[in-house]
A and B are shown apart, each in its own frame.
Chain A
Amino acid sequence: MKLRVLVKYFIYIFLILLISFVLPRIIPGSPLSYNHNDTYILNQSLPEDTFNAFEEYYAPNEPFFNQFYKYLYNLSRFDFGYSFYYKLPVSNLIFGRLPWTLLLSFTSIVISSFVGISWAIKTSLLNKSSNFKIGMMIAIQSMPTFLVAILIQGVIAYKLKLLPAWGAYKPGTVFFTHTFYLDVLLHLILPLLTLILCEIPGIYILTYNSSQKIKKENYVIMARYLNIEDKQINQQFIFKNIIPEILGKLNIQLIYAITGSLFVEAIFSYPGIGQLLKSAASSRDYPLIQGILILTCFYGLIVNFIFEIVLKNNTEKY
């Protein structure tokens, strides 16, 4: 069983690498597209030093398999190429920014799952739910994250000037002093708020549905027959069974959290990966966007892998 899981993940990794390698070569209009039989055309559309870096990394003139081999070899050494825009190795850029993204996405997921799960369980156990509440949740969920970010930034930071509108800290502050931490916290509030707001509905609806399902399970109905106290039913039967159920689906939420945080960062100019994504998009920085894609893929894989193991251990207990 364990082996099968591992094999599955190996296949996934291989597929991801294959997709990230093949896609740029088959997309119409791509600089690496095979419609260009020689690199002349590419050389006509990229600046000289960019072209050189590009050619060195992608080696578009070599046979397909050599290219793929080279690609894998480079990746195995964490060499994602050289960013055109920043003129720095992509890996340096990404790993330098990663802590900020992780800070934002993990804090938000911790808070929003706590709020979302407890709220949903509460409403569902007390039968207090209303279609209106669910409707509201769907309304928030259907807002694209970046639009929520724009609205929050515009109103709270620019219009009311309550909190800093961009960045993670004031430029030039000395690191690791008290003012610095305070500054970081102040700058964190708005992006975090946006992310939490966008994550709660998903978690809420998920939890609500699963607890409704469990409420209809036979053992809960049985417990009620046996006149076990409501409180005890909630704690002993329902709550304990909801947790593995939710854990099994929370991985998707975690993956959304990272994409959500990319967009939020782009709007709030938070110095995480999202900002890299934005500049990569506007400057057509191919190696950088490729690095970000691979990173998010691996993030998704790792999260999934961890949850698969956690889930296995949990479901076996009950």
Chain B
Amino acid sequence: MKKFISLIIILLLSLSLAACDTAGQTEKTEQPMTSEQGLKKTAREERVLRMDGDNLGYPSVFTSSPKGRGYLLVSFTFDTLVWKDETGVIPLIAKDWSISDDNKTYTFNLNENIKFTDGTPLTAEDVKFSFDYLKEHPYQWVSVAPVEQVTAVDEKTVQIVLNEVYVPFVTDIAGNVPIMPKHIWENVTEPEKFNTKEAIVGSGPLILESYDKESGVYIYNANKDYFMGEVQIDKLIMSSVKNTKEALVADEIDMASNVKYGEAMKLKEENSKYKVIEGPGLWVGRLYFNFGIEELNIKEVRQAMYYAINRDELVQKALKGAAEVGNPGHIHPTSEWYSSDIKNYDYDTETAIELLTSVGITDTNENGIVEYNGKDLSYEFIVPEEQVPLAELITKYLGDIGIKLEVKAMDQNTIASLIKEGKFTLAFNGHGSFGGDPVLLKGFVSEETAASTPQVTTQGGQNWHNEEFNTIFNQQIVELDREKRYELVGKLQNIISDELPTLTLYYKKSISAYNPEVFDGWFFTKDGVSLAVPTIHNKLIFVRGQWNK
């Protein structure tokens, strides 16, 4: 009997080893091993920082996810001309810059000793090349449309000329165009498929060691020659973690950036070992309308829906308090561009029903659903899987005024694509990139404009159209006087609050928890990293943080 048991155990072990062998091999082929890094074992223990993350694709410029977080992964290996920290814009590749009197020409002086991780120095030619390359191959995160011409004056000086005055140029374009090595990328014709080891040669603080595309584990090594100073960690492991808070407490990760608000609050309460920090809410949850549906083009219908939704209760119940109530003017109330001169929609079912009646939408056949021209106002409502409670609330609210919703839950990426392509009737989703310059209102402009925003913020299909809005938007984008611009932006918010091209439901609070005994110094970036990405993943932490273990 005992013999048999030991035999079984041996069998079990050998089986498990065999299985791991095969499992490991498939992953190993994807690892571009940096042999030097592996060999160079220093005396002290390797400083490995472990944090949670999502699977966001191969972290090269064109292959990563179009979401903000995808861009941030790219930013670990690719530097930009300027960057942001908790105080605002700071120099990065460019040590300083000057702006011409007509506000159209920017001259950047580059730092001297920057090298790409393959050893070639970064020059003005690479900067020029990167801008030109993005012009030729449109990049979903940042558009270089406002840039007319880039010239490399000498090896370390770049001059960028714009078509028109573009106020947010430094933060939104210079701070986001990844500088790619010309000698590698000049031969790349299909960047969307470029995912070799060469595609991740940049000048940033980290070097990708491996990426497991199935489980979404990223392993980065420190760039020992980083020009900003010594990188404070040796290795970064980012993996998709199932339960972030538990993983943090169980010491499986040192930084929980995806932690849920309630969890983080609980952690703060009961365990002082961990630090919990809150950042600005730069993620907006909104209800999208498809303007291809006739009755949704009627302003009163959208207003009635907004009246019918109890946003306070929504935030409290569906979001568990982890959000701030949405502002009808779309802009976040704490933003310096916020205007209080807007129309308000306090929860009021009576007014909502009156509004519907005023445009002839009533329940004539008494089936509990209101009709417009004899057609029931009954829609398919698509929501991300994790937002089913919110969908339940909204279904109830709109049900109260006679609009019937049929909820369909899908995964978030699918919803985002469907919205981007206009294939929906009513949809709920949200996005980051919602802070800083009011250029973020571009999503509501129905004509071509020079302004640049990430594609995640826009909606496809037939869009809302308002001539006045378009005009004012184009005025403010070239307005240099801050006072005057504020006034114009205020007008835009007023129009939005009256017309409601989208129903702004809430702004998600961002929160992160970490173990300061391992690595400390985390901070939230002013207006969000890059284009207002509301996460803590700012690459400067790798240089500025303190390793405490």
Contact = CB atoms under 8 A, between A and B. Distances in A.
Contacts of A45: 418, 423
Contacts, number: 112
Interface in B401-430: 410-411, 413-414, 417-418, 420-421, 423
Interface string A91-121: 0010111011011001100110010000000
A86 interface: yes
A93 B11 CA distance: 27
Given A171-B217, A175-B28, A283-B414, A99 B19 contact: yes
B1 to A, nearest CB: 8
Interface stretch (B110-118, B235-243, B449-457): B235-243
A60 B268 CA distance: 54
Interface residues of A, number: 48
A282 B385 contact: yes
A171 to B, nearest CB: 3
B272 interface: no
B213 interface: yes
Task: Sort A-B residue pairs by CB-CB distance and give the 9 closest, nearest first.
Answer: A47-B417, A171-B239, A172-B237, A103-B19, A283-B411, A175-B24, A99-B19, A99-B23, A166-B242
Nearest to B419: A47
Contacts of A93: 214
B362 to A, nearest CB: 29
11 contacts: A47-B421, A88-B213, A110-B8, A111-B8, A164-B250, A171-B215, A172-B239, A175-B24, A176-B20, A271-B215, A283-B414
A44 B423 contact: yes
A58 to B, nearest CB: 18
Interface in A170-196: 170-172, 175-176, 180-181, 184-185, 188
B237 A165 contact: no
A80 B54 CA distance: 26
Contact of A96 (B26, B57, B219, B417): B26
Contacts of B8: 110-111, 114
Contacts of B213: 86, 88
Nearest to A180: B20
B421 A48 contact: yes
Q: Which of A44, A86, A271 gathers most chain B CB within 10 Å?
A: A44
Interface string A63-83: 000000000000000000000
B246 A158 contact: yes
Nearest to A181: B17
A88 B26 CA distance: 14
A86 B214 contact: yes
A85 interface: yes
Interface SS of chain B = helix
Contacts of A111: 8, 12
Interface of B: 4, 8, 11-12, 15-17, 19-24, 26-28, 48, 50, 57, 213-215, 217, 219, 235, 237, 239, 241-243, 246, 249-250, 252, 385, 410-411, 413-414, 417-418, 420-421, 423
Contacts of A248: none
Contacts of A123: none
Contact of A102 (B19, B411, B414, B420): B19
Contact of B16 (A95, A170, A184): A184
Interface string A151-174: 000000010010011110011100
A166 B243 contact: yes
Nearest to B4: A114
A283 B423 contact: no
Given A44-B423, A110-B12, A269 B242 contact: yes
B417 A48 contact: yes
Interface in A36-62: 43-50
Contacts of A282: 385, 411
Nearest to B50: A172
A127 to B, nearest CB: 20
Interface in A259-286: 269, 271, 279, 282-284
B250 to A, nearest CB: 7
Nearest to A172: B237
B26 A181 contact: no
Nearest to A275: B215
Nearest to A175: B24
A188 to B, nearest CB: 7
A184 B20 contact: yes
Contacts of B24: 175-176
Q: Which of A46, A49, A99, A171 gathers most chain B CB within 10 Å?
A: A171
Given A111-B8, A269-B242, A47 B414 contact: yes
Contacts of A100: 19, 23
Nearest to B423: A44
Given A86-B214, A106-B15, A188-B16, A172 B219 contact: yes
A248 to B, nearest CB: 22
Nearest to B26: A96
B214 A88 contact: yes
Contacts of B57: 87
A249 B346 CA distance: 66
A58 B59 CA distance: 31
Nearest to B210: A172
Contacts of A283: 410-411, 413-414
A213 to B, nearest CB: 25
A309 to B, nearest CB: 22
Contact of B15 (A95, A103, A279): A103
Contacts of B23: 96, 99-100, 271
A99 B252 CA distance: 24
Contacts of B237: 171-172
Contacts of B252: 164, 170
A165 B246 contact: yes
Contact of B27 (A46, A48, A102, A175): A175
Contacts of A44: 423
A19 B348 CA distance: 52
Given A47-B423, A110-B11, A97 B214 contact: yes
Contact of B410 (A97, A185, A284): A284
A96 B50 CA distance: 25
Contacts of B4: 114
A180 B8 CA distance: 21
A43 B417 CA distance: 12
B45 to A, nearest CB: 14
A50 B414 CA distance: 9
Contacts of A271: 23, 214-215
Given A99-B20, A106-B15, A164-B250, 11 more contacts: A45-B423, A47-B417, A86-B214, A93-B214, A96-B214, A103-B16, A158-B243, A161-B250, A165-B242, A171-B237, A181-B16
Nearest to A161: B250
B440 to A, nearest CB: 23
B330 to A, nearest CB: 25
Nearest to A44: B423
B20 A175 contact: yes
